[in-house]
Structures are given as C-alpha cells and as structure tokens.
C-alpha cells in the first residue's frame, strides 16, 4: 500500500501526541516520591520568628506598617543596603540623616537621592522606622555607615572622627535618650566588595577589622548591652583576616546570601544548597570563636546585577533560599532584600517585596508563608528528592507540625510523607502558593482543603509550580 505524504503526517502526528500523553501520564501516575519527617531530630530553634526584611528608607513610608503586620515579620533592617555606608546620623536633627560624602561617581550619594543641603531625601526617618518596628513587634537592625573613613577622592566628606562620633551618638540617642533598646548594630555593609576604581575607597581586611574593634568599644561604652556585627561576603579569605582581630569585640558575623541562577530550567534541574556565604561565616565561627552568631541581613533568590521579573519561579526559588537558611541553628535572623528598590518600574523586577501601593509581589509571598507557618523548631525533613524540596517545623509544646513541600515541575507530582515520632492529631489544613507558568507574575496563596493521613503517612498530589503547606493541628 502506498502511503501518501498526508497519511504519513497524520501517523507521525498521532505518534507524537501519544508519546506526549504517555510521558505526561507517566509523570502523573508514577509511584509517589517518598519523603520523611522526623520531629525528634531538631535542626534549629526558630522560636524568635527569624524571617524579616531590609527596609529602604528612601522608598517606603509609615504606610508600610500594616502590610508588614500581615507578613508577620520578625525583624526589620535600617536604613537600606549599600547606601547605608554613607548614612550619617545627626543627633541634632535625627529626622534628617546626612550623606557622609557627595561624589558624582558614587551612585549612593548623587543628587537624585541627596538634597542640596547634604541630607538624604528620605521618606522614612529613623524614628519613623522605630515606630514601625514597635507596631509590628519586629527586632530592629541598624547599619552604621563607615565608607567615608577610607574615601580617597577629592569631594567633601566626613572625617573618620566625625563618622565614629555619629555612630556613638546614634546609640546614645536610640537607647539612652529614646529608650528603644536596639540590640543589633552592623558596622558597615559589604565592605569587602566594590573597593578601588570609581568607588574611591580602599578597605582592607585589617583596616576594616580594626575599625570594627574601635567602633564596638566606643559604642558599647554608651550601652554595653548592644550587639555588634562584622560583615563579609568574600568567604574564608576575608574572614581568616578579620575574625582573629574582632573575635572578642563582636557578637555576630553578618553575611548576605543571594543566588546565581539565570533561568527556570537551570533552577529546576540543579541540586545546589544556596548557602555558600553562610557556610563560610559558620566555618569562621567554628575556627575562631564558637560563641559568635550569624545574621543574614540580605537574602534573596535575586541574582545580583541581573534583571529578572518578579515571577513564579523566582518566588519559589526565594522560598527555597529562605528555607535553607532556616536550617542553621547559628543564625538569629534573615532579612529579605528588599522592601522596594529605587525606581518604580523595578518593583516588577525580582528586587522588591511590595509594589508602589504596598501590594505584595510574588517575591514577597515566601515571607508571608514562612512567617505564618513557622513553629518553634525546624526538624528533619527530606531536603531533596528529584525536583521536590521539603522542610518541616514543629512545636513540642502543643505537638503541632507544619510540612512544606516545593514542586519545581510544571506538572503535578505525588508524594508520600512518613511522619516519624509524631503523635499529634492528623487533622490538618492544606495551603498552596502557586503560579500557572514559570514566568507568570500572577500567583495565588489560598487554603485548599486537607490531605489524607493514615498511620503516620501523608499522601497528596502537589500542584505544578507550587509550595504546599500541610498544617497538622497537634494535640
């Protein structure tokens, strides 16, 4: 029989369609992925509500209070990130911080951010920030800017003595005059990065370390109860030179954790931990002073110097990055970066938690999920199984347990979750955070019934591109 071109095309099309259906059904109907949760294996204490956000004092105002309450953030960081290196507190005018220098080569001090009188065009003053912290019951973190101390350019700038005096007076104003009781103070921001060239600064590890010691002693002379942090992003090369000098004068190390993933396919198929900077700080603590703590004061699935949309896969990746940090018992707090970035059109990019009306963006949803469902402890859960990730949080006081399961795939996946050493109620609620496609900017977060639990085993189907939270009610 002679097969015409039309018949051949129909046969080929039918074969391809059948194959695709077979593949899709195979993924859906395959044996469930097995996960294990064990509440007796405690990984970290998260009872302090550690997930917070870094505030941009130039792009938010007190109206952010209610949105932050809805997120239930545990901590807020002020005044921003890199710009904080030039923030100079003025005890005579606390509402109007000065820029410690104005150099057109340094973006953080240019006139679109700084008034003609040298003060920042802030929309949230320091006292406003503290009012927000008090309203949402969040632990405040303060960054003390120090870059003017090593400025090598010719533009007007504060002297090292003026910079240190401003830091000391800030502690005095905050904790003695106003009685805010602020504990956490970071000395500088990412001072091991962006040195030389147009930055007109020349921090070395030794110079930075000695500055931290100097500031710590001066600031603690005003209030001995405060905690001082030294920062680093360059790994052991930096920490091995800094920590031996500062180890007896600081209380915590500061690092920032970002991603290096360029697109959805790379994220879906990799098995990275996204904790390289955290590991480096942890190693330095183990080596030089085991009593020190870690604070990850900037964290995000953002890939620095790369533009990504504020979309579904970045949101899910952000949930994963935050979840990885929560497993470290050495960490006190983590701060998502950032509340809102500079230009309004950037709010739709993977920088910002809120849009111009304080509506929650996809990147902000992981904060809401973690903060609303974290219990007192992170306990063992199978970290990785193919393209599935999982975490578990447990409260031994009321025997309640929340299990978080992330599905990276664009198709449903079935899971079977064994609950070891859990004796609480099997009554539960299921909540789902999801988007329709990896690039979709429309996401949903809603309650979705419950799951089947039988003899300490949960069986459920994970929706595509989703985080499923299974909240077991406990005793």
Q: If you write DSSP's letter for every residue of 111-131 in order, what string do you get?
A: TTTB-TTSBB--SS-HHHHHH
Hey, what are 253's tokens? 């190390």
User: 115 near 102, Cβ under 8 Å?
Assistant: no
CA atoms within 13 A on the CB side of 285: 26
CA 461 to each of CA 170, 315, 452: distance values in angstroms, whole numbers, following the listed order:
53, 20, 10
- Higher-pLDDT residue of 475 and 472 is 472
DSSP 191: T
Q: Interior CA angle at 95 toward 251 and 157, to 5°?
A: 75
pLDDT per residue over 204-260, tens digit each?
999 999 999 999 999 999 999 999 999 999 999 999 999 999 999 999 999 999 999
pLDDT for residue 25: 47
pLDDT per residue over 86-113, tens digit each?
999 999 999 999 999 988 888 778 888 9
pLDDT for residue 28: 47
Question: Measured between alpha carbons, how far is 469 from 475 in angstroms, rounded to an integer?
Answer: 19
pLDDT per residue over 287-296, tens digit each?
999 999 999 9
Distance in Å from the first CA to the final CA of the chain: 73
For the packed helices 276-288 and 236-246, what is the interaxial angle rounded to 10 degrees? 40
pLDDT for residue 102: 86
Question: Measured between alpha carbons, how far is 367 from 200 in angstroms, rounded to an integer?
Answer: 36
Q: Which domains does the chain have, with CATH numbers?
A: 29-43+380-474 (2.60.40.1180), 47-374 (3.20.20.80)
Question: Quick one: 89 exposed, middle or buried, by C-beta within 10 A (0-12, 13-18, 19+)?
Answer: buried
Residue 27 pLDDT > 70 = no
Question: What is the pLDDT averaged over residues 127-145?
Answer: 98
Instruction: Give the percent of the chain with pLDDT over 70.
Output: 92
Other C-beta atoms within 10 Å of 146: how many?
28
Q: Give φ, ψ of 133 to 5 degrees.
A: -55, -45
pLDDT tier for residue 22 given thresholds of 50, 70 and 90 = very low
Residue 297 pLDDT > 80 = yes
pTM tops 0.85, yes or no: yes
Q: Give φ, ψ of 446 to 5 degrees.
A: -155, 160
Q: Give φ, ψ of 16 to 5 degrees.
A: -65, -45
Question: Measured between alpha carbons, how far is 126 from 95 in angstroms, rounded to an integer?
Answer: 6
Length of the chain: 475
Q: What is the CA radius of gyration of the chain?
A: 25
Q: Interior CA angle at 328 toward 443 and 70, to 5°?
A: 35
Of 172, 67, 177, 64, which Cα lies nearest the Cα of 128?
Answer: 64
Of 394, 383, 404, 368, which Cα lies nearest the Cα of 473?
Answer: 394
Question: Measured between alpha carbons, how far is 388 from 363 in angstroms, rounded to an integer?
Answer: 20
Of 417, 397, 400, which Cα lies nearest the Cα of 468?
Answer: 417
Instruction: Give the percent of the chain with pLDDT over 90.
Output: 82
pLDDT tier for residue 23 given thresholds of 50, 70 and 90 = very low
Question: Measured between alpha carbons, how far is 33 from 413 in angstroms, rounded to an integer?
Answer: 8
User: 37 near 420, Cβ under 8 Å?
Assistant: yes
Question: What is the pLDDT averaged over residues 53-75?
Answer: 97
Of 432, 415, 439, which Cα lies nearest the Cα of 469?
Answer: 432
Residue 351 pLDDT > 90 = no
Mean pLDDT of all residues belonging to the chain:
92
Sign of CA dihedral 417, 418, 422, 423: positive
Residue 283 pLDDT > 90 = yes
> Which residue do the tokens 């080929």 mark?
12
DSSP readout, 3-22? PPHHHHHHHHHHHHHHHHHH
CA 144 to each of CA 88, 164, 297, 330: distance values in angstroms, whole numbers, following the listed order:
8, 9, 13, 23
User: 340 near 349, Cβ under 8 Å?
Assistant: no
Question: Measured between alpha carbons, how far is 65 from 343 in angstroms, rounded to an integer?
Answer: 21
User: 190 near 80, Cβ under 8 Å?
Assistant: no
**Which strand (E) or helix (H) includes residue 402?**
strand 400-407
Question: What is the pLDDT averaged over residues 150-176?
Answer: 96
Question: What is the pLDDT averaged over residues 460-473?
Answer: 97
Question: Measured between alpha carbons, how far is 315 from 302 in angstroms, rounded to an integer?
Answer: 10
> Which residue do the tokens 């927000």 mark?
132
């Amino acid at each position: 029989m002679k097969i015409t071109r039309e018949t051949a095309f129909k046969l080929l099309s039918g074969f391809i369609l059948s194959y695709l259906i077979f593949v899709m059904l195979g993924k859906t109907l395959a044996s469930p992925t097995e996960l294990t949760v064990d509440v007796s294996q405690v990984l970290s204490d998260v009872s302090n509500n550690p997930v917070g956000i870094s505030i941009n004092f130039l792009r938010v105002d007190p109206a952010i209070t209610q949105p932050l309450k809805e997120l239930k953030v545990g901590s807020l960081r002020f005044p921003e990130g890199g710009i904080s290196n030039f923030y100079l507190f003025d005890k005579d005018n606390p509402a109007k911080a000065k820029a410690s220098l104005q150099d057109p080569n340094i973006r953080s001090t240019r006139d679109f951010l700084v008034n003609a009188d040298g003060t920042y065009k802030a929309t949230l003053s320091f006292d406003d920030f503290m009012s927000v912290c008090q309203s949402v019951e969040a632990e405040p973190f303060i960054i003390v800017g120090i870059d003017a101390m090593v400025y090598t350019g010719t533009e007007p700038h504060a002297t090292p003595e003026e910079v240190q005096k401003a830091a000391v007076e800030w502690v005095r104003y905050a904790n003695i005059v106003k009685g805010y009781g602020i504990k956490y103070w970071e000395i500088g921001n990412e001072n091991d990065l962006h040195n030389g060239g147009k930055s007109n600064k020349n921090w070395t590890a030794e110079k930075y370390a000695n500055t931290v010691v100097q500031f710590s002693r001066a600031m603690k002379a005003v209030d001995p109860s405060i905690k001082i942090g030294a920062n680093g992003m360059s790994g052991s090369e930096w920490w091995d030179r800094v920590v031996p000098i500062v180890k007896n004068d600081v209380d915590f190390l500061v690092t920032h954790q970002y991603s290096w993933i360029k697109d959805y396919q790379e994220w879906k198929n990799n098995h990275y931990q996204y904790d390289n900077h955290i590991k480096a700080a942890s190693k330095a603590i183990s080596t030089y002073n085991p009593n020190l703590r870690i604070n990850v004061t900037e964290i995000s699935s953002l890939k620095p110097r790369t533009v990504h949309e504020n979309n579904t896969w970045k949101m899910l990746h952000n949930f994963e990055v935050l979840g990885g940090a929560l497993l470290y018992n050495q960490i006190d707090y983590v701060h998502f970066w950032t509340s809102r970035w500079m230009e309004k059109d950037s709010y739709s990019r993977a920088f910002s938690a809120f849009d111009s009306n304080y509506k929650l963006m996809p990147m902000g949803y992981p904060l809401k999920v973690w903060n609303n469902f974290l219990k007192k402890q992170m306990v063992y859960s199978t970290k990785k199984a193919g393209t599935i990730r999982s975490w578990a949080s447990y409260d031994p006081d009321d025997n309640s347990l929340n299990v978080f399961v992330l599905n990276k795939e664009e198709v449903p996946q079935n899971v079977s979750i064994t609950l070891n050493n859990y004796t609480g109620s099997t009554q539960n609620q299921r909540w789902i955070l999801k988007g329709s496609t990896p690039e979709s900017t429309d996401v949903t977060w809603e309650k979705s019934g419950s799951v089947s639990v039988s003899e300490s085993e949960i069986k459920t189907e994970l929706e595509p591109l989703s985080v499923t939270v299974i909240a077991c009610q406990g005793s």
